[in-house]
Amino acid sequence: MKQTWLLLATAAMLTACTEKHATTLKEAFQHDFYIGTAMNVPQIFEIDKAESDLVATHFSAIVAENCMKSEEIHPEKDRYFFDEADAFVAFGEKHGMFITGHTLVWHSQLAPWFPYDEAGNKVSREEMIARLKEHISTVVGRYKGRIKGWDVVNEAILDDGSLRMTPFLEIIGEEYLELAFRFAHEADPEAELYYNDYSMSSPAKRERVVQLVRDLKAKGLRIDGVGMQGHMGMDYPDVAEFEKSIEAYAAEGVKVMITEWDISALPTIRQGAEISDTVSYMQAMNPYAEGMPAEAEEAWNERVRTFMDLFLKHSDKISRVTAWGVTDRTSWLNNWPMPGRTNYPLLFDRENNLKPVMQEYLNRK
Ligand code: G3I
């Protein structure tokens, strides 16, 4: 009898030791949420082959970092440029990924011609609505059934909860928000539609985003999800406020997505992600140009664990966690808000290795 128990215990121990650990991020999180990354043009065309291979191996979702923004995809009123976006979608289809289009309506990187007529005057409300409809219908229509989700409107609300004064708000008025979602749904009735923004744990912004979701739903419009960009630093956002926002958005009956996750390892100069808000170079704000000291690395690792564990705790609400880039080397945070910094915000290091803190999640039971 004793021998039988001993045999059983040994077998159980051996099973536990040989239990297969995940070898990729998408395997590790396959029961939790899509794990994604933003792709830049060198990765899309496999010019940066090493990073393209990391994307194909580790991620189950991709989003276009820049190539689908209006200044890139619709550079002139009567000219579109789809080469990069076509290659992006083809890459995602080749690897069976969830493909997100970013972004249909955004004040930044807005094609310069968009709000102006040929004489350089602001166009009429009717003309701006016509341009908005034509842009959305053309871009969404081209990828109908292939791009599964769209960041329809990006960063339309300020941290104080007011609407950002953009050419869309100025010329069309608040109705541009519902028009954007309506046009996107008409162009692809199957596609998921999202509102996407940064600093989404700011209480005033949270309240306004909740109101936006309610307003769109009250008008019978489709909105499937709210994108919390997740641009973070070592000292922001407050974890409790971030969790409150996850719960508040989910309570509106929409998916929550972490859409642009990175954690700056450097001293915070600016919170959020206001791309136009930059500062000139200051050596003191670039302390790890030659590499991160061990204690700084462990502090960053702990920050990653805090938020990744929060995402896993709420995996019933969170459908996707997307890093805003593949390796530290190509992160936008090496140049924002201060050009020329050496930052360490992403899941892979400059040698294309998965960081140890993320290895811990491969080995989760
Ligand atoms: O492609 C041109 C290249 O031809 C030119 O030589 C070079 C120098 O001028 O610029 C290149 O374009 C740059 C582009 O990134 C591609 O590298 C733009 O100047 C630069 O402004 C653009 O920055 C992007 C930024 O959005 C503005 O579009 C960042 O890569 C991108 O990470 C960042 O992403 C945004 C999200 O879309 C929205 N949420 C905030 C997030 C961070 O700002």
Q: Is the pLDDT of residue 12 over 90?
A: no
- Cβ-proximal residues to 15 (8 Å cutoff; 6+ apart), any chain: none
State yes or no: pLDDT of 110 exceeds 90.
yes
For residue 364, the model assigns a pLDDT of 85
User: What mean pLDDT, rounded, does the chain reach?
Assistant: 95
Per-residue three-class SS string for the chain: CHHHHHHHHHHHHHHHHHCCCCCCHHHHCCCCCEEEEEECHHHHCCCCHHHHHHHHHHCCEEEECCCCCHHHHCCECCECCCHHHHHHHHHHHHCCCEEEEEEEECCCCCCCCCCECCCCCECCHHHHHHHHHHHHHHHHHHCCCCCCEEEEEECCECCCCCECCCHHHHHCCCCHHHHHHHHHHHHCCCCEEEEEECCCCCHHHHHHHHHHHHHHHHCCCCCCEEEECCEECCCCCCHHHHHHHHHHHHCCCCEEEEEEEEECCCCCCCCCCCCCCCCCCCHHHCCCCCCCCHHHHHHHHHHHHHHHHHHHHCCCCEEEEEECCCEHHHCHHHCCCCCCCCCCCCCECCCCCECHHHHHHHCCC
pLDDT tops 60 at residue 3: yes
260 in catalytic set: yes
In this prediction, residue 7 has a pLDDT band, given cuts at 50, 70 and 90, of low
Q: Which residue, judged by its Cα, is nearest atom 25 of ligand 1?
A: 275
- Cβ(66) – ligand 1 distance below 6 Å: yes
65 lines ligand 1 (CB under 6 A): yes
The mean per-residue pLDDT over the stretch 275-284 comes to: 93
In short, whether 275's Cβ falls inside 6 Å of ligand 1 is: yes
Q: What does pTM read for this prediction?
A: 0.94
Per-residue pLDDT band for 317 (boundaries 50, 70, 90) equals very high
Lowest mean pLDDT among 229-238, 265-274, 299-308: 265-274
Return the ligand 1 atom nearest residue 102 CA.
37
Spatial contact of 19 and 51, defined as CB atoms under 8 Å apart: no
Q: Which of 51, 65, 84, 155 is catalytic?
A: 155
Q: Does residue 260 line the site of ligand 1, with CB under 6 A?
A: yes
- Establish whether 155 is a catalytic residue: yes
Q: Is the pLDDT confidence value at 90 over 80?
A: yes
Ligand 1 centroid to 275 CA: how many Å?
9
- In the predicted model, what is the mean pLDDT of residues 106-120? 97
Task: Return the pLDDT at 292.
Answer: 97
Residue 215 Cα, ligand 1 centroid: separation in angstroms?
32
Counting ligand 1 atoms within 8 A of each CB, the residue from 37, 63, 65, 330 with the most, and so the one to mutate, is 65
C-alpha to C-alpha distance for 210 and 201, rounded to whole angstroms: 12
Mutating to test ligand 1, I would choose from 63, 275, 343 the residue with most ligand atoms within 8 A of its C-beta, which is: 275
